[in-house]
Every structure is written in structure tokens, then in C-alpha cells.
Structure 1
Amino acid sequence: MVVAVALAAGLVGTVGGGTSTARAEEGKPSQGRQLLFYNHAYGVLDRETADAIEHSAYLREFANFQVRTTTGSGGQTWTGRYLMGRETYLELFGVGDLPGQDGTFGSAGMGVSTERAGDRATVMERLRALGVTEPIEYRQTRDFGDGVPVPWFDAVFTTDQYDSFGAWGMEYRPEYFADPRSKTEPPDYPGDVGRERYLPDDYRDHEMRDVTSVRLAASARDVANTVPMLRAGGFAVRDAGDGAVATRGGVTIRLDAAPRDRAGLKQVTFALNEPAGNRHKERIGRSTLVVGPGLGAVWNFDAPK
């Protein structure tokens, strides 16, 4: 999901509330049981790199790769390039693919989601305890192309104000899983609204299994507004210079505070389904993906000159 799409399409709650400048405290423990897990991140790349990704034959071998147009609430549409794993995925855009400020180079976003129905309500309680007194709620729908939208997920934001990066907590709706058009899996346990149920199993036919870390740069304000969401979700968050690092649930999220011209998606690492015997280096536009040796891969994104 794109931040501006949600904020422009109509929010449930108090717009303008919930802004937080809370900072991560070194060594402060997470708040009990983990409720939110890394779901996906997106980044807006330079046009050369986005086009190279879209037409890369190698990426279609490496991952369950798709180029897909999605229709959300209010008829808003976006076309992204997707690398999908077992529980996590990556969404990539090029400059101009999205409207307004979200379509500029260096814009980015991230969703963290629940695994059990009802946990989003607990996240809301934790956010209020952390000083986000008026979290912003939003319901996203999805139209599969037949003009009949279905509730997709409920989201919560700490604020409606952002410079280039926004994060949201989300919980998939039972109506979405019940709709045969979603092609999702049966539940593994009562209240299962998890990521593995949501994503297809086609990752098994490729090297990429899951995202294990993301590194993004954003303004100090955007970083500060994201920290309460991560804390409320149960991540262990610590200061890292002017930014923050959050870990738990098998994924590390690093947010670097940076000026707008240095903002954006910087690096993604992946776990592989099987060890790669040799090191493979693939240059894709102005990015470099290195796979192996072993069970990992690293994708670095360069700024355009």
C-alpha cells in the first residue's frame, strides 16, 4: 500500500492527531508479546533502475516476481514490481509511478502486520500508552477487476504528516480471506490472519524465501513518528546514531535519519530456500544484487548521479 493513497482516500479517526516525536531509548525492552511483524516495504527508485527491474529475466528466476496493478479504496490504483516470499515481500516503484510527493525519488513506506485477529486493537492501546493519543485508522479495500471491492485490511498510522516515509500497522480482514478471488490459504489456527496465509506458495520454486532486513533513510521526523509503531508492535528498538534499529520476528529494520535528497530505500537482504553454491552478482539499473554463497542475498540501491 502507498502512504498517500491511504491518507487521500479517506481516514477513519482524527486527521492531524497522533503525531509523535518519541525517540528510541537505548536498551529499552519491547512491550511484551510481539503483535506486529514486518510485512513489506516499498521504495521509489530512479526510472532507469525501475525499468531494469521490471524487465529483468534474472529476477524472475530469483524470486516469485510480478508486475501488478492494484485497485484500492476509492478507485485509487498503483502499479508495482513485487518480489514475494513465504511471509514477506518487497514492492518497488519508479519515479512518476505514484501521484504527488509519493512519486518522487526516495519516497518509501513500510507495513507491519498482525498474525492473529484482534491484535491490532492491542497495538492501538499500546500506541496511546506511548503518547500517540489519537492514532489514525483506515480501512483499505481491493477490487480484483470486476468492480466488486472486498475489505482487504485495517490500518493504523501514528500521524498523517510525513516528509518522504510513512509506516503503518495493519491487520488483514476475514472477508478478504473468505473471498475466493483472494486465492489465500485456509487458516492454520483460530484467528489466523497471518502473512504466510496471505502470500502464495510460489516462492518454493525460486531462490528467495523471505526478506531478512531492510535499510531506509528518511527525515528525523519520519523516523521519530515510526518508532512508536515499532515499539507498540513489540519490536526491540534502539538508537543508531540519528536513526533507529528495530529487531524481532526474524527481520531487522534500520531507519537512518537523513536530508530529503538522501532519503529512500538503501538495502534489502534475503534468506534463500537453499544454499547458493557460488556468489552471483547481478547489476540491475543502478542497483546490485549479490546472491550467495550460502543462504543469503544482499541488494544495494545506489542514488542516481
Structure 2
Amino acid sequence: MCHRNAPLTETGRLRRARCVVEDRWPLRRAAERFQVSVGCAKRWADRYRCHGEAGMVDRSSRPHHSPRRVPTRTERRIIKVRVLRRWGPARIAGLLGLNPSTVHQVLVRYRINRLAHMDRATGRVIRRYEYNEPGGLVHVDIKKLGNIPDGGGHKIHGRATGSRHSTRSQPIANNSTSSRAKLGYAYLHTALDDHSRLAYTEILPGETKTIATAFWKRAQAWFAAAGIEIQRVLTDNGACYRSRPWKEALNKAGISHKRTRPYRPQTNGKVERFHRTLLDEWAYAQPYSSETQRRAALPSWLHDYNHHRHHTSIGGPPASRVSNLSGQYN
């Protein structure tokens, strides 16, 4: 905080102005005495002559006139499109023949520049929630991901050459045979804590009830080792989450099961967003030469996510919300 008697605070300006106006100091002498420019000394002296002590207060930098400001009629059209169609600045600008930055300035001026809390399909306000402690709710979901062939896919060889490495088929013998070997998919099973965003992920060969139930038992043990006692689990309406083994595993642990509404993936949005981050920063972050290389990079990335990566919505890494988590300082 600046000291009240510093040269360019209200008190310093008043002392300097009084030296010039009342004590008849030359502007150059006053400027040297208070270590400011001659122009600065003259400006505050003129304000003191016109307004007295009240003139020493900072004024707004906003101009008195804005001849190039967007007309009021155009602003109303921008606001109308924003409210009715919930479009972003670029689409509104294209419709109205304006510059996207101009549209953005208007939206900021009227404080409607964010769509984060609005459902674009219905216009309803999204009710955001967060449980008060770790384990209050754990989101579980599966992400299907195509395997990478040995030697790399199109990210290494380009689209034209890499198309032969697609997940549909791949030659396994010489050119004389038509037999093909399917590369298949990897299934990312994830359990993510609602409060801390702490994530546990495994790459598994399928999404059957047996695989999903076995994954959950390992995930529950992992959270328990971190000192998190799980109370509720939220999943979609997949067949594996409606199976008897899944229900029995949760009932045995005393965990209640909640399912999202059909065709409403945003209800399970935290784990959906985690999967997007997972793809951007791990799966597609670099051109891998094989599926084995990509899978080997997952544990390191997951550790960085849980212990070191800053999470915007919680103001730090997930480990910052979990007490005594092992490996936090590695």
C-alpha cells in the first residue's frame, strides 16, 4: 500500500499545489522539490485553483464523449441475439456484420459475456454443486479410445499413409492375403471425487459388468488408502452400471448409487470434463509410436494431475483438498 504522504497521493498533490498557488513557488522549483515533472506540477496546481482540495482526487479515465461507440440500436440487437439464441461473439458478429471484438465489448459492458452458467439448449440456469468433503460423491464413467498401431498412426505418417493404420483393419501378412487384424479399442475407466477432483483411471479391455465391477473395487481401495470414505457414486445408465454385480459391490460397501437422467451427460459433467483434459494433455498431446508407449505415459500424467497440476475451479491441484495424500511432494 502506498504511503499517504507520498508525492503523488492526495496529500502530496495538495502540498505541491499549495506551494505553487499560495506560496508562489516557480513550477520548476516545485517539480524538483517533489521529484515530479513540470507538467505534473502545473496540472495539479491548475486543478487546485479551479476546485480546491476536491481537485486532488483521482478522476475516471473514461472519456467524456465516445463518438465511435456502437449505436444503442445495434447494442439492443446484440443483446437480443445473445438472450434468444445464446450465441458467442463470433456468431453474433457474423449475423449482424460486426467485428467479434466489438460484440464482446458490448456483452462485457452489459455483463452478459459468460454462458458458463446457462444451458445453451434450453436457456435454463445450470445448477452447479460441489460436495463439502471428499467422498461425498464420486463420479464414474468410461471413455472409449482407439488403439494406436505399432509404428504410429496418422499423427506420425499423415492422413494419407496413416489411413491403413485405422482402427477398422490393418494388414497382418504379406500383400497376397486379405486377412486383417482389428486394432480394437482401449476403455478408460475413471472414478473422480466431486469435492477434490482427485482421479483414479485404468485402461481396460472392455466395459462389461465384470470389468466395471472389478475396476470399482480397486478404485474404492485406492480412495480408501488416500483417507477418503465414499458415500455416493454417480454413473450414467450404462448396462454395466445397472448389473447385479455392480449393485452388490456398492451395497456391500454401504454406498448409495445415483444415476444421471437419460441423455443428460452434463449431470456427470466433472468426469466428462476430466476425460476431455485427459485426451488433450495425454492421449493426443504427442505423436506416440505405439499403444504401449501411450499407455506407459498415463501413470506419470495422472500423478501430475492429482498432485501438481493447477485446477482452475478449486484454485490448486486436487491433492490440496485431500489431507496426507501419499506422493504429494514427489
TM-score, normalised with respect to structure 1? 0.23
Determine which structure has greater relative contact order: mean sequence separation of CA pairs < 8 Å that are 6+ residues apart, divided by chain length.
1
TM-score, normalised with respect to structure 2? 0.22
Please identify the structure whose Cα radius of gyration is greater: 2
